[in-house]
Amino acid sequence: MEIMRSSDVDVELTINGHKRELRLDSSVTLLDALREHLDMTGTKKGCDQGACGACTVLLDGRRVVSCLVLAAQCGGREVTTIEGLAPDGALHPVQQAFVRHDGLQCGFCTAGQIVSAVALLDEGRTGSDEEIREFMSGNLCRCGAYPNILAAIREVAGTGGE
């Protein structure tokens, strides 16, 4: 028998097109719901303070750092994680470009970088290198793969790359 605490809430999340019903403490973040309750570990837990971007997901098509969003706030909304970018099993064009341009080193930030880059492209914020840098500035790479990340984004945007 499951014991229900007064702070528990029922949440119906739509993750990568699939509805999932959870009973969670009302203080559980979207990041923790994904990783600890749904076993979706592609979204990484970095700083847990919204500063690094490793946990970036799309919420109704807009990028958010999932460590700062409560899961209970996401009921009835569409969440897209790194796992949902290419549901047919093939890599998303941004993922392919990251591989071609070696836009990763240790790989820890890569999921957040890719999800953010997909949103950046959808937002049409690829007019210049400066614009890309500005709108990707919330995603940190401790390895310093920024030039390769920029090249991958420019390739997909059709404004440069190889």
Are 130 and 72 in contact, with CB atoms under 8 Å apart? no
Q: Is CATH 1.10.150.120 correct for 93-157?
A: yes
Band (87; pLDDT cuts 50, 70, 90): confident
Q: What pLDDT does residue 50 have?
A: 96
CA 138-132-55 angle, to 5 degrees, is: 30
pLDDT at 97: 97
Tens digits of residue pLDDT in 35-85:
999 999 999 999 999 999 999 999 999 999 999 999 999 999 999 999 999
CA distance 12 to 81: 16
Helix (H) or strand (E) holding 113: helix 110-123
Give me the chain's average pLDDT, please.
94
- Residue ranges per structural domain of the chain: 8-84, 93-157
| Residue at 23: amino acid letter | R
Higher pLDDT, 107 or 3: 107
Superfamily of domain 8-84 in the CATH hierarchy: Beta-grasp domain (3.10.20.30)
Q: What is the pTM of this model?
A: 0.92
